Structures are given as structure tokens and as C-alpha cells.
Amino acid sequence: MKLHRLTVAAALAAALLASGCNNSGDSSSSGSSSSSSSGGSSSSSGAAAAASYWMPYVAGPSSGATGGKTGVFVVPSDHPTATPTMMTSNAVASSGIFADPLATSLEEYLTDNSGAVSGTITSSGYYVTSDGVGNHLYHLDLRDTSKVPSPVQVGAPLAASAVLCDMAVFEQTLNTPSSVVILVHAAGADNSCISAADDVVYLYHAGDGSGVAPVVTPIAAASPIQSTATPIEDGVTGNLAGLVYIDGRHNLSFSDLSFIAPKTLVTGASAYSLVYSRNGYAFVEVIAAGKGSLYRVSAAGAISDDLYDFQPSNQTARAVEDSANGNLWFEDVGGTFDHNGVETAYSVRLVRLPISGSAVAQVIYSTSNTVPAGFQGLEEAFPVGVFGSSFIFDVQSFGIQRNTPALPASVYALPVNATAGTAPTVITSLPFGWFGGNQIVNSQLFLSVHNAIDANSSAISNSIEVLDASGAVLKNYPQSLFEGSVTAVSGKPLAPQLSTPVIYLAEGYTAPVTSSDPGGATVYAVSTAVSLEQAPVTVPGGGSFMPIHGEQPGVNTDGPAVMMNFDSDSSSNLAVSVLDVLANQWISIANPASTTQQPFAEAGQGFGPAGSGF
């Protein structure tokens, strides 16, 4: 779920003004930044910090419908009820593996006179259209709503017959949209994005004219493209230092964008995946010689020794930084499978290592078990984060048997300096169920609780609980689901500081307990900084926003208004709406007849920490 970034003052004003509260003297949800009484006392001060921009989305034909408009549209963030402006009449190319539109956008930090971050806007959009003659890459400058943006072709087109798999964008110079580089992954002769032996990754620069051919890179393609090439910043200026990638000779390599003198980091590498990255370094899992090993790669292209060997058939879902103690925590889940490929046992580990890479990783917690006959398991030791002097994580096992949703689950706490084998403290547990969307905000632990009646039942009761550091329940929201959050940003562009002053939840849904959608619920903005005060999200003309059965709102992009999309399980159609954060109001965007709508994918600003989503 994408995070919406806004200034601390504006984010607090959004929730507090909607609930009629005064926020004088209240602090933000992060100790690293706080709102001032003048900055957060009125909506005008918050709104002034949020610049307007064009919000892009893609429209395509609905299933079985005719006559609808197809292409890229934009609406101004400060006037989302305006008639959408169409940018192109050509169809937007779709990913050859994900079936999503090849369209992405990039954020830019807004700064004040002192150089401090005051918010973010969506500054640029990139998309590919196919007109039967070629696949054309276009750029939209979205920063000035006083004039309609004009699409600008970037580089020469690829062949119309090319199957494009996915693409990625990133900046060479921090907070400079003109320095953007675009990687486009195209399938080879077999037109398959899965069998990638002869696939090609092309490199474009944002300033390439329409006659400039893209660079054919030595990157060995794979999908998603983010697992093919990882950018690393230099750690001082925030500018691009180089890319980590696997080349055609199966070497993990590091190079600048010239690819003239790459450094070979690991030979015989069949694949790699990003575990975590920050300004100046990245941790990657490299598969070589039949095993997965963890390495730290610096901005200079230096690689550490093998820091950790993953379990066979492992999956690493999330890594969390403990910056105060200089550590990184991550999970390692391994499975044992029979000759039919059915999982028979699993082992989960919670692992910790110094961010500096100065020592090998330690397994702090581990557990293993067999998978009951007839079940297909999915296990995790999911790291949540630091809570006071403890590190919080949950351990759960999802099972599938006659729609059985889950097995036992628990949320645990360990001392941040715990040694291997230290027994964790149980904060809360479920005999049958799972926890999801958990996060620590403003010294409070928010848990999404999915409780099953028993191991043989698919009936689920969903709720949200807020706990303090002792495990005491501060508040319970029955029949509720998380729907997103506002992330306030402060500090400097090189080291932005994030906090979460507002979350959104759908409370009191009336859909059957076997369904996870929030039909009949009211969507609330909940201030995490003011005793969990909540205010219903409204709709134009008055009244609360209540999704109908089948609708599932979710925060998607950034700015003073947040794009959100519906995915109705009663229809194949997608429709785009906007949550105006400052007004706490849900606004539907006009839908061209007989078309679906989908916001651009959000690439974010810079590179940021991997796995830090809500």
C-alpha cells in the first residue's frame, strides 16, 4: 500500500480540522520532527506547503464494452473534480508479464528557503504507447498546473512487435527530475518475459531526443526489473553511484551507467534479490553455487564477505532497520518439499546483523514445524520494528485446506540487544488466524487482527487493535480493516525523516465474514498524534464515505490529494477516485465512458529503504 507524504503540519491539520480539534502543542508521531503551533494551527498553513501538480492515470477498455476513451489522462491535484484532460489517444502498452500498464511516476521533494523538506509532489510521469508502428516512450512534466502538460517522446521507439515486460525509473542526481534514467525490459525472440535468456534491457535518459537510440545494456534481464538492476546512491550527495546487476556471463557486477569498466562482485551468480537499501549501500541475496548468500555492496562497488547463508527454498519478505542500534533485522523462511512439490515442513528465522556489515548475521529467533497433511503452508517471522527497548515481530502460518485461512499466530517482543536463543515475550496470540499490516506509530503498536473461529472454518473476524509498550490494548476497532496512511516528511532530501500522523481504516463493515472487503463500512481518518481522535471521511455534498460491498479503497500516490482506486469483486472495472487529505473528503474522478481507470505506478523519490511500506 503506497504511502502519502505531506508536511507534518498539513497532515495533522487534515485529521484535526476534520474532527474539530485544536492541535496546539501536539507533537508529530516521530521524535525526529515536530510541528510548531503556528505551522499546525490552521489548514491554511498546511495547505500552503502542499503545491499542486497533475495526477496521471491510464484509461483502457472495459471488458465487453465499446466506445470508451483509451489513453493517458491527467487531473489537477488542487481541482480533482475538473474534467480529465486526455494526453494521448493511443493505447498504453501493457506489461508482458504483469498485464499492468507500462506507466510510472516519480516524486520530487519540495524544500523551503533553508533547504528543509516541506513535502513532496509527483513531478514526472513516464509511459509507453503502441501505435502499430513502434513502442514509444513518453515523458510528462506534471509540476505546473497553470498549463496542460505536453507529452515529450524520449528516445527512438522500439519495434512495434517487441513484447515489453516492465520498466523502472530513477534519478542520477538527487531531487532532479531532468536527470532521470529509464530502464525498459523487452522480451527476446520467444516473446516471453519469463524465459529471459535472450531478453534485453534498454537504457534511456530523460533528455534523449526522439532520434536517439536507447542503449543496449549488459544487464541480464529478469522480471521485475527492480530485481535486475539496483541503483545505489553515493552516501554523500545522494546522487547515483552505480548499479548492481547480473550480467550475461552470470556475474554479479557493479558499474556506472557507461558500463565501460564494471566491477565483478560475485562470479557464477544465477540470480539476486534486493534485501534492503539505503543511501550509500545495499544488502543483496545472491544465488550462486546452489545457495543464497547475503552481501553488503557499498556505493564504491565494494562487496563484503558472505554475511549470512539463507535456508534452501527461502523467501525473504521484509527487512527493518534499527537505526538507533545500527542493526538490520530480516526474516528467512525455508521449506522442505516432497517429490510432488508439496511442502511438508518449514523453518522460520529472525536474523540480525550490523548495518555496517562489520560482522556476520546472527539468528536471534527460530522455529520449525511440520505442515499438517492436506495443508499448503506459507510461514513467516515478520519483523515489525523497534518498540521502546524491544524489537517486535510476528510468527504465523497460513494454511489452505477446504478454504481454511490460517493456523496459530503470535506477536512477540525481544530485547533489541537479545542474543541468539533468547526466549521472546508473547504480546498477543491467536489460536487460529493471522496478523497483517502491523506498524509502530507514535509509541503505539497498530495490529490488524484476522481471527478464525477454528482450524476448519473459513469464517474470519477482522479488527484493528492499538497496544502500548506493555501490551495493553488502548483501543479496539471491531469489523475493521486498514486502508492506508499519511506519511509526513521532514529533514533534508539526503536524509528525509518520516512519521505517520494519520492512518485510514474502514470500520463496521457489513460484508460476510468470509469476505475481506469493507462493504457497508465507514472510512475514518485517525490521528495517531492526538489520542487516536478519528473523523469520518466525507463525500461532496455531505455525509460519510461508505464503500459499497466489493469496493476496497487503498492509498496509491502522493500529494495534497491522494489517488485511490477501487477494485470491485462484482465487476472487472477499475475506477479512480481521490482522497483530498486536507479536506478529508473522497472525490470520484469523472470516468470516460466504457473504460477502466488505473493510476500510474509510483516509483517514489530517490531509492529509499526497501520494504518500508505500510
**What is the pTM for the complete model shown?**
0.85
Distance CA 540, CA 438 (A): 32
Q: What is the pLDDT of residue 79?
A: 85
Cell 529533514 maps to which residue?
Answer: 491
Rounded to the nearest 5°, which phi and psi values hold at 218?
Answer: -85, 10
Ranges in the chain, pLDDT < 70: 1-50, 62-67, 97-98, 195-196, 222-227, 316-317, 372-379, 397-406, 455-458, 511-517, 548-574, 593-594, 603-614
Question: From residue 336, how far is each of 92, 367, 378 by CA, in Å?
Answer: 42, 14, 12
H/E segment holding residue 391: strand 390-398
Report the 10 Å Cβ neighbour count for 213.
Answer: 12
pLDDT of residue 571: 45
- pLDDT for the residue 516: 61
Q: Tell me the per-residue pLDDT of 403-427, one tens digit each, with 9 for 90 and over.
A: 444 578 899 999 999 999 999 999 9
Percent pLDDT > 90 in the chain is 37
CA atoms within 13 A on the CB side of 52: 14
Q: How many residues does the chain have?
A: 614
3-class SS at 601? strand
Q: How far apart are CA 242 and CA 255, in angstroms?
A: 5
Question: What is the model's pLDDT at position 520?
Answer: 81
Q: CA angle, corner 106, sides to 104 and 111, nearest 5?
A: 165
Cell output for 486? 499519511
Q: Quickly count: other Cβ atoms within 10 Å of residue 554's Cβ.
A: 16
d(CA 513, CA 73): 37
* The 3-state secondary structure of 468-512, one letter per residue: CCCCCEEEEEECEEEEEEEEEEEEECCEEEEEEEEEEEEECCCCC
Instruction: State how beta strands 495-507 and 480-492 pair.
Output: antiparallel
DSSP, residue by residue, 530-572: TTT-EEE-B-TTSSB--PPTT----B-S-SSEEEEEEE-TT-S
